[in-house]
Amino acid sequence: MTDTASSPIAVSPAVSPRDERVGLLLIFLSALMWSFGGAIARFIDAGDSWTVVFWRSVWAAAFLICFMIWRDGWHGTVRLFRGMGLPGLAVAFCFATASTSFVVALAYTTVANILLMQAGVPLLAALFAWVLFRERVALATWVAIAAVIAGVAIMVSESLDGAVSPIGDGLALLIAVMFSIATVITRRFAHVRMTPATCLGTMLAAAFAASQASQFGVSSSDMGFLFAF
């Protein structure tokens, strides 16, 4: 059968109004918490960006592992990692790239530029969903996508004339692209639990940062900020 609607991965489960409200609340809280990241990072006086990536990822991985063990038990956690498959690996790669790029970008550009780029993630996700899966996109969304592209072009032009580093803006754009792809994959494979994928992403980021960091020692105050970060 060639009809994609008959494929089990293309069928979205019914969402109750309560679940939809919970989802919207979680999205709002995730955006709110992520927005504090740039401000917290400015208080950290670590050796280099890779040291920050390493400890931030280690704490995140530890928290997610403890959470999954508390919720699903040891055996359940192992099953979740085994069951995430290629979609989970793809999301893990996207998250590792995005979280690493976020910290490194802070050394090259402003927090405002990074967060403004990330504000376009839902619209980029809609664009990718249309390109990859031909999902319908409303006219208002197309207008918003065009506005985001125009805004990104303006921001990139500032980096080209030397106002800010093109490396920082490039990494900020990479963050938005990675999160958009991860969003599309997560929605397309809604039956796959992505918590272990996020955890694996933090492990990948920590492993790569460990190979790049010039030092691992940080002060106790910096470690506190890294825990919150």
Predicted local distance difference test score (pLDDT) of residue 175: 92
Q: Which amino acid is at 69?
A: I
Q: Which of 146 and 160 is assigned the larger pLDDT?
A: 146
Predicted local distance difference test score (pLDDT) of residue 13: 53
- pLDDT over 50 (residue 10): no
Residue 101 to residues 38, 127, 144: CA-CA distances in angstroms?
12, 22, 25
Predicted local distance difference test score (pLDDT) of residue 222: 81
Q: Which of 59 and 123 is assigned the larger pLDDT?
A: 59
- % of residues, the chain, pLDDT over 90: 37
Burial of 185 (0-12, 13-18, 19+ CB in 10 A): buried
Residue 48 near residue 213, CB atoms below 8 Å:
yes
Q: Which of 143 and 37 is assigned the larger pLDDT?
A: 143
Average pLDDT, stretch 47-56?
88
pTM as predicted = 0.80
Tokens 């280690």 appear where? Answer: 58
Q: Which of 26 and 208 is assigned the larger pLDDT?
A: 208
**For the segment 186-217, what is each residue's pLDDT rounded down to a tens digit?**
988 988 999 999 999 999 999 999 999 888 88
